[in-house]
Structure 1
Amino acid sequence: MTQEKLYLREDVYIDPLVNKWYAWPNLLAPITYAMYMTKTHKRLMNSFVNNYELHIIANQDAGMAGGGEFVNCTREQVADVRKLIDKFENEHGICRELCEAVKQLDSLLRSHTSGESIEPLYEQVPELLKGYVELHMDLYHQPSYRLIEGLLYRSPYYQETIQSVSFGILSDTEARPFVLSTPRLPAPDNLQLHAPFNAPLWDRIFRARTEPVTREEAEAMFTSVPTEGGLDWRELFTVEAPTRTYQAPAEEVRLAYVGHAGFLIETARCAVLIDPVIANRSAGNADQVISYTELPEHIDYLCLTHNHSDHVNIESLLQLRHRVGQVLVPKNNGGSLADPSLKLILGQLGFQVRELDDMETTPLPDGRILSIPFLGEHGDLNIRSKTAWLVELKGKKIYAGADSSNLEPRMYQHIQRLVGDLDVLAIGMECVGAPYTWLYGALTTDTVSRAVKESRRLNGSDFDKAARMVSTFRPRQVLVYALGMESWYSYFMGVDYGDDSQQIIQSGRMVAHCEDLGIPVERLCGKQTLCLA
């Protein structure tokens, strides 16, 4: 008798969680996690418990809910949020102590103004950080430190036991709560499995999107670890095979836009995926997205541009891990609090990872991948973990610039002399980003003035900067992307543009400019596939 075969439904989504909060890279690095948990998560949850009616009202108003300052939980969940606060205080109080230790270390180093040797300060390093930091001075006698990250991941401060994955089913009437403001609590509409992110279990589950399993195999996967939530695992599966499946390219170079800042670039011999944030298909977006069932079963290289959650998206990465050969990431500064190593973070997730420096090349069967310097979009912080990618296949050159900004046009002129003109130039134009403290504020231990916040923003290219890139690289086609316009990404983007938004105005000018030059141009939203003959 033939056993019934089950597929993981296409409208099943996941929330990877660290202590019930949506996981993004800085929540995996031990010290940054302690800072965000103490200074952001606890603050938001305390605010909700103390004034939950305001939060509930605010989340009913799109204008108020933006920015991630309001917890999107219900009146009935107040007690559960209070329990999570108590758990943070009692079981994970070490995080509060680590946060205080970082503050003390910052104060210690700021007080060292003589320019003399910093070595005597090792004795004054807070006890919790002793042996985990190296103190140093720059050429102008300014003291600082680096975290010894490889050691921290092997310390008691890195806890895989607080990692879990929550499964849910997409609703076309109810949006997922914004990821940076709201904990994911066990509820009747989810099923949370407690296992580390590097567990082989996740590969077995996510393969079931395209490779069916028996009912017994599915039951074993979902009952092999502790669970919470009221959703029955059987509701996550269907007997119907996916109707949209992967189709390999022929002889051409194929470029598929897979959403937000994601591109799949292929020939018949290799596949390169950049910044994947893969949407789950539902009735509401069925014809607008390229989802997991339409991606190749083997991806030679997965390239990541920079350490922001809409580019290094753990939700998508976990579901792709079983398909990926190697991940390419930008080279890291080494131990900066604001710039944790992507190589080490992704290594904890079970990936094979290689770092590339500026202008370093990785060969492909039909060409190469080149790491291109990435300027801007990080509020002037010394963030090294950022790179754009140039993929050259069969002589076709595709530049994926993500949120990089043309702050120094001479740099691109130097690069153009080395790589020549482009076939495709793709650039993000999120030209009015949030103040840098919106993302990095939890890592600061001193007050930042309003003037500094407003001046130092997470800006990408505006029209003038992007137009200079067109003039320099003379592309045959221009793509404007990574604007967060796709509604199905609102749960992590949190943007709501109007016609008068500068992002729309500036990118619209870019479209008109390219049309005037006779260059095909498109502002990407929803799936798009190009064949470069």
Structure 2
Amino acid sequence: MSNDDGKLYLREDVYFEPLLNQWYAWPYLLPPVTGARHIVNTHRRIMSSFIKNAKLHVMAVAQPGMAGSEFLDCAEDRVSDIKALVERIDLEHADLVVLSDSVRELDELLRAHTSGESIEYLYERVPAPLRGYVEIFMDLEHHPSYRLLESLLYKSRHYKRSLQSVSFGLLDTVGQRPFVLSTPRLPEANNLQLKIDYNDPILDAVFRARALPLAAAEVDALFAGRETLGGVHYRDLFTAAPPAQRHVPVRDGVRLQYLGHAGFLLETADVAIIVDPVIASRGESFSDEVISFSQLPERIDYICITHNHQDHANIESLLQLRHKTSKILVPKNNGGSLTDPSLRLLLKQFGFDAIEMDDMDEVQVPGGRIVSVPFLGEHGDLNVRSKAAWFFELLGKRVFLGADSSNLDPTMYHHIADYLGEVDVMAIGMECVGAPYTWLYGALHTKLVSKKIKESRRLNGSNFEQAHKIAEIFKPSRVFLYALGMEPWYKYFMGLDYDENSAQIIETEKMLLACSDNNIPAERLYGKMTMEMA
């Protein structure tokens, strides 16, 4: 807390978490209706279970292999704090409980309409919280359904900025961060929490200080008069020492860098593009294994998002990049489906210039183009349109980044290859045994889903046969396997544990061997990687 007259940088080991009602914010938690369903049917349920039997939760999270489970990860002596969060839902935000229940009531109303005749009379029976916020329609088989008027909902009382807050901590004092989908973030001795929404100017100012230092007086002015919780003082987040590693500009050719998990950075001298950024803060235990914020370009021309899951549309990272980002390209949305909230509308709430891309849409960039490529699978057979793989052509180099695409129909890739041609680099996600789809979407259901359905419909990426077939079609000169959640510093939102017998490891080994047999350099990515494409 010294250096009162000098310049201060945001420390490289500072981590940031956007919160909603003290829970880690991810894309399905923030839209009003899907958020209400998750708050009531996931958060309140897990917290109520912890209140009833805290010992069971404490014992469960201590067991190996329980990462990603629905057991709340905090000490028994915090039961009163968890109880207060449940009471906050039931008392201060009882309207969200009613909104969540209204989804069930609307589903029941529509299920009861079986005649196939006009549904116009149903509008006056729509539950009051949703009235005026839905359009009811029929499919060609005369089954009724509805779409949410999302733009209007973001203007309504159902969208509560008052539920937003943020938390900062220091990686080297916090240890393993609890799994985000099962544990709220309480004020602790090792964090600092601010009751602000995500549009507060303090956030861009603080994150800009990772590269451009602030005077100590400027730091003090940013935090002056603000209510803070937790045991970390705001000055502890800053240091007089500049970042040890900085961005190195590209002078010639194309640079491709792996940023961890599903993230890539593509750069030329004229354009910088990031795909699915999940940027790791630089903790002491893995300081040499990551490309962190200080090594990113001063300006990011485009961020491309493959889909709406928390490990790809990562709000935590996006808010930290907002101050240096020009545009975000997101997949085209279904328009009002409960299972497919709009990424464009969500990011628009936080000041991003988000542009929707339909299948095979193109954006011209200096020296080339960006093309959104159809994406099949990994969404439990739900009608989720907000997903796209990405093709980049820069200075004649051609890169396909497929993320979690599952090759359910090779014919589609033949059609794509007929138009795009062969590629220099192909990267494909091979988390081939994903969680049951209810892991992310269960809270949206208003009827019980059978175990048989859960086990059948998983969030699977490509296995060996599927990934290898894509490679046979695109004929890449180099292959990368990624988006596996292998890096331990991402465990707090991935919840994955692998060993040599895991299907994902076995299938990727098959892919590496097949590429070797065909004299194609291939690598299972981990941590970071830099490839210069002259």
TM-superposed CA distance for 1:333, in Å, is 0.3
2:68–2:179 contact (8 Å) kept in structure 1: no
Letter of the 1:83 counterpart: A
Q: Distance in 1 between matches of 2:174 and 2:116?
A: 61
Q: Distance in 2 between matches of 1:162 and 1:69?
A: 22
The correspondence for 1:31, drawn from 27, 30, 33, is 33
**SS of equivalent to 1:62:** coil
Letter of the 1:466 counterpart: A
Letter of the 1:23 counterpart: A
Partner residue in 2 for 1:40? 42
1:172–1:282 contact (8 Å) kept in structure 2: no
**SS of equivalent to 2:485:** coil
Partner residue in 2 for 1:418? 419
Q: How many residues align?
A: 532
TM-superposed CA distance for 1:172, in Å, is 7.1
Deviation string 1:362-383 (CA, Å, 9 cap, x unpaired) is 0001100000000000000000
Letter of the 2:43 counterpart: H
Q: Distance in 1 between matches of 2:152 and 2:198?
A: 19
TM-superposed CA distance for 1:196, in Å, is 1.1
**SS of equivalent to 2:505:** helix
Partner residue in 2 for 1:3? 5
Residues 392 and 522 of structure 1, relative CA distance in 2, 3 Å threshold: same
Partner residue in 2 for 1:62? 64
TM-superposed CA distance for 1:187, in Å, is 1.3
Matches within 5 A, 1:163-312: 163-171=164-172, 174-312=175-313
Partner residue in 2 for 1:106? 107
Partner residue in 1 for 2:141? 140
2:328–2:352 contact (8 Å) kept in structure 1: yes
Q: Distance in 1 between matches of 2:476 and 2:173?
A: 39
TM-superposed CA distance for 1:2, in Å, is 9.8
Partner residue in 2 for 1:513? 514
Q: Distance in 2 between matches of 1:350 and 1:252?
A: 32
Letter of the 2:482 counterpart: Y
Deviation string 1:497-516 (CA, Å, 9 cap, x unpaired) is 11111000001100000010
Q: Distance in 2 between matches of 1:518 and 1:81?
A: 56
Partner residue in 2 for 1:84? 85
Q: Distance in 2 between matches of 1:186 and 1:174?
A: 15
**SS of equivalent to 2:28:** helix
Matches within 5 A, 1:426-441: 426-441=427-442
Partner residue in 1 for 2:154? 153
2:173–2:190 contact (8 Å) kept in structure 1: no
Q: Distance in 2 between matches of 1:275 and 1:61?
A: 31
Q: Distance in 2 between matches of 1:319 and 1:117?
A: 49
TM-superposed CA distance for 1:219, in Å, is 1.4
Letter of the 1:526 counterpart: G
TM-superposed CA distance for 1:173, in Å, is 7.5
Deviation string 1:323-366 (CA, Å, 9 cap, x unpaired) is 10000000000000010000011011110110010000000011
TM-superposed CA distance for 1:225, in Å, is 2.9
User: Is 1:458 the counterpart of 2:459 in the alignment?
Assistant: yes
TM-superposed CA distance for 1:224, in Å, is 4.4
**SS of equivalent to 1:439:** helix
Letter of the 1:216 counterpart: A
**SS of equivalent to 1:27:** coil
Q: Distance in 2 between matches of 1:70 and 1:415?
A: 43
Q: Distance in 1 between matches of 2:281 and 2:6?
A: 24
TM-superposed CA distance for 1:162, in Å, is 1.1
Letter of the 1:273 counterpart: I
Letter of the 1:85 counterpart: V
Letter of the 1:520 counterpart: P
Q: Distance in 2 between matches of 1:404 and 1:321?
A: 27
Partner residue in 2 for 1:393? 394
Q: Distance in 2 between matches of 1:40 and 1:107?
A: 21
1:390–1:397 contact (8 Å) kept in structure 2: yes
Q: Distance in 2 between matches of 1:314 and 1:62?
A: 28
2:68–2:494 contact (8 Å) kept in structure 1: no
Deviation string 1:168-211 (CA, Å, 9 cap, x unpaired) is 00037720000011000111111101111122221001001111
Deviation string 1:439-469 (CA, Å, 9 cap, x unpaired) is 1000000011111111111000000000000
Q: Distance in 1 between matches of 2:349 and 2:227?
A: 21
Q: Distance in 2 between matches of 1:168 and 1:266?
A: 31
TM-superposed CA distance for 1:14, in Å, is 0.9
2:174–2:190 contact (8 Å) kept in structure 1: no
Deviation string 1:272-323 (CA, Å, 9 cap, x unpaired) is 1000000000111111000000000100000000000000001100100001
1:263–1:276 contact (8 Å) kept in structure 2: yes
2:4–2:217 contact (8 Å) kept in structure 1: no
User: Structure 1-normalised TM-score?
Assistant: 0.99
2:272–2:302 contact (8 Å) kept in structure 1: yes
TM-superposed CA distance for 1:62, in Å, is 2.3
2:180–2:493 contact (8 Å) kept in structure 1: yes
Unaligned runs of 5+ in 1: none
Q: Distance in 2 between matches of 1:416 and 1:225?
A: 55
Letter of the 2:214 counterpart: V
2:18–2:25 contact (8 Å) kept in structure 1: yes
2:400–2:423 contact (8 Å) kept in structure 1: yes
Letter of the 2:456 counterpart: S
Unaligned runs of 5+ in 2: none
Q: Distance in 2 between matches of 1:435 and 1:285?
A: 31
TM-superposed CA distance for 1:223, in Å, is 2.8
**SS of equivalent to 1:96:** helix
Letter of the 2:240 counterpart: V
Letter of the 2:197 counterpart: P
**SS of equivalent to 1:531:** strand
Residues 423 and 48 of structure 1, relative CA distance in 2, 3 Å threshold: same
2:33–2:99 contact (8 Å) kept in structure 1: yes
1:187–1:230 contact (8 Å) kept in structure 2: yes
TM-superposed CA distance for 1:531, in Å, is 0.8
User: Is 1:405 the counterpart of 2:422 in the alignment?
Assistant: no
1:367–1:392 contact (8 Å) kept in structure 2: yes
1:258–1:264 contact (8 Å) kept in structure 2: yes
Partner residue in 2 for 1:473? 474
1:189–1:229 contact (8 Å) kept in structure 2: yes
